[in-house]
Amino acid sequence: MSKKIPLGTEKTYGAELLFQGAFFALEQAGQLLNDAALLFENRRWASAAVLSVFSLEELGKSDILIDQTKRSLAGHSVTCSMLKNTFEKHEAKLKRGRSRDTIISGRAFIVDTETLEFEAHEKETATEGHRELKRAPSKMHAQRKASLYVTLTPEQDWSRPKSTQPRDAYSLISSTVVEYGKRRGKFVRREYPALKQLFERYERWLQALPEPASIRVPDPVGS
């Protein structure tokens, strides 16, 4: 049984340490993504997909740490248990690691934008988009496990990482490339006004962030 920590005695973390963690997590996300791209080029679809999900988790961790850095700068305590509880939850990190733009793919729908048909489509898209946003973290976590482990399904069949399809790996990696590029750009352009002094202090680090990976669609995608 874990011991209760008396109120006010738990270890807290300062803004500078939290900011460093946000940078290191973003850096690791970029490195994992570039490794995923290398595996993808060598047709290791499952392993590439796994590293992409790990990269998304690190993006989520970086995003969480940026929020906690702001919290610390505002005079609030950031404790060990607060970070531990967040970091141990895979789906919480995945939720922060992927945005609406890369979860909801656009659907072609050519209609007059002033018709009732278009209005109905917009409502349908918004509803489905909301559902997809809620499902996405658990789906990505399940995809990681399916791409990493041999498991027995409820249908009494074996699920094998080897069965990961190239189109699924490509979709996951390409969306992760977009997410990483956006987050990296926000760091490089210093799009966090509250953290201006920290960005200036660690400017050399920012320039060393890995470039977004580059991947090409296999020909054919489904082969």
What pTM, to 2 d.p., does this model score?
0.75
**Has residue 145 been placed in a domain?**
yes
Which residue range forms the structural domain that includes residue 132?
15-207
Report the pLDDT averaged over residues 176-193. Answer: 93
pLDDT recorded at residue 119: 53
**Has residue 79 been placed in a domain?**
yes
**Has residue 53 been placed in a domain?**
yes
Judge residue 75's burial from the number of C-beta atoms within 10 Å of its C-beta, 0-12 exposed, 13-18 middle, 19 or more buried.
exposed
**Has residue 187 been placed in a domain?**
yes
**Has residue 137 been placed in a domain?**
yes
Q: How many domains does the chain have?
A: 1
User: What residues have CB less than 8 Å from 178, skipping those under 6 apart?
Assistant: 101, 102
**Has residue 179 been placed in a domain?**
yes
**Has residue 1 been placed in a domain?**
no
Q: Residue 155 corresponds to which amino acid? A: E
Report the pLDDT averaged over residues 85-114. Answer: 64
Contact (CB, 8 A) for 56 and 176: yes
User: What residues have CB less than 8 Å from 179, skipping those under 6 apart?
Assistant: 56, 59, 97, 98, 99, 102
Question: How many of the other CB atoms lie within 10 Å of CB of 187?
Answer: 21
More confident residue, 24 or 111: 24
**Has residue 217 been placed in a domain?**
no
pLDDT recorded at residue 54: 92
Could you report the per-residue pLDDT of 109-158, keeping only the tens digit for each? 333 434 454 455 445 544 544 455 456 555 655 655 666 667 767 777 77
